Structures are given as structure tokens and as C-alpha cells.
Amino acid sequence: MAPRQLKIYTREEVQKHTKREDAWIILHGKVYNITPHIINHPGWTCGCGTSTVIAIMNSLGTDCSEEFEEVHSPATKAQMTYYCIGTLEEDNEQDKC
Ligand code: HEM
């Protein structure tokens, strides 16, 4: 099968998507639209995770690779391809998420 052709974005474009209903992030050169997820995020609904909500909101539109790595399990990281919409122009592997 031919490699999936992903869209290529600039960091400036990603920076425009900082709202709960329009939420993009960068992880290791890939661009993710996490809008479908954030409403169900642990902490968002439990009423006890204000700091998690703030961490997520502050990360929208940015490259939050390090912070994301620190708090998420391998299982969570493995499911991120579902949210991947493209790559950065400087990414070395633009044909895969
Ligand atoms: C689609 C994107 C995301 C998914 C699927 C996701 C999923 C999860 C899951 C399942 C957990 C529980 C720990 C685990 O099993 O990994 C978690 C915890 C956490 N997430 Fe996310 N997350 C996402 C995005 C983010 C972003 C962008 C941030 C901000 C940097 C963030 C910050 C946190 C924090 C701080 C916790 C720890 C919560 C606590 O211990 O109370 N998450 N996330």
C-alpha cells in the first residue's frame, strides 16, 4: 500500500488552534487534533483535576512533547495516531504519524 499522504503544517498554523472546541497540539513533529478527546479527559469530568485541565488548555497550539511523555502511559501514547492530522514541515518522516 502506498504511504498515507499527510498534510504538512507550520507551527504558526498549529498555534491558531487553542480552544477547547478547536484544539491542536504538537508531539514529536506530528500534529494532533485532540478536540474529540479533551471533553472526556480524566480530570475534566471528575471534578478533581483542575490542574490537568489547566495543563491541557496551556498546551493547546504548542509543542508539549515533554509534558505529554511525563504523564501518559504507553497505552495512551499508542492511541495517539487516532488524533494525528499531519506533520510539521521540519519533520523528517512526513509520510507517517
Ligand atoms: C488526545 C490526547 C490525550 C489523551 C488520549 C490523553 C489521555 C490521558 C489518559 C488516559 C490519562 C491517564 C494516564 C494514562 O493512562 O496515560 C491522562 C492523564 C493526564 N493527562 Fe492526558 N491525554 C491527552 C492529552 C493531554 C495533554 C495535551 C495534556 C497536557 C500536557 C495532558 C495532561 C495530562 C495530565 C497532567 C494527566 C495526569 C492526570 C492526573 O494524574 O490526575 N493530556 N491523559
What is the ipTM, given to two decimal places? 0.96
The reply to whether ligand 1 has any atom less than 6 angstroms from the CB of 36 is: no
Quote the percentage of the chain above a pLDDT of 90.
61
Ligand 1 centre distance from Cα of residue 41 (Å): 7
Picking from 26, 45, 42, 20, the residue whose alpha carbon sits closest to that of residue 86 is: 26
Q: How many domains would you assign to the chain?
A: 1
Residue 63 sits in a domain of what CATH number?
3.10.120.10
The reply to whether ligand 1 has any atom less than 6 angstroms from the CB of 53 is: no
What pLDDT digit, counting tens, does each position of 17-28 carry? 999 889 999 999
Residue nearest to atom 38 of ligand 1 (CA): 52
In DSSP notation, 44-55 reads TTTSS-HHHHHH
pLDDT band at 5 (very low <50, low <70, confident <90, very high): low
Residue 33 lies in a domain: yes
The reply to whether ligand 1 has any atom less than 6 angstroms from the CB of 71 is: yes
What pLDDT digit, counting tens, does each position of 61-77 carry? 999 999 999 999 999 99
The answer to whether the CB of 8 falls within 8 A of the CB of 89 is: yes
* Rounded distance between C-alpha atoms, residue 59 and residue 67, angstroms: 9
Residue 24 lies in a domain: yes
Residue 95 lies in a domain: no
Residue 45 lies in a domain: yes
Mean pLDDT across the stretch 47-60?
80
29 or 53, higher pLDDT: 29
Residue 47 lies in a domain: yes
Range of the domain at 31: 7-88
Ligand 1 centre distance from Cα of residue 9 (Å): 24
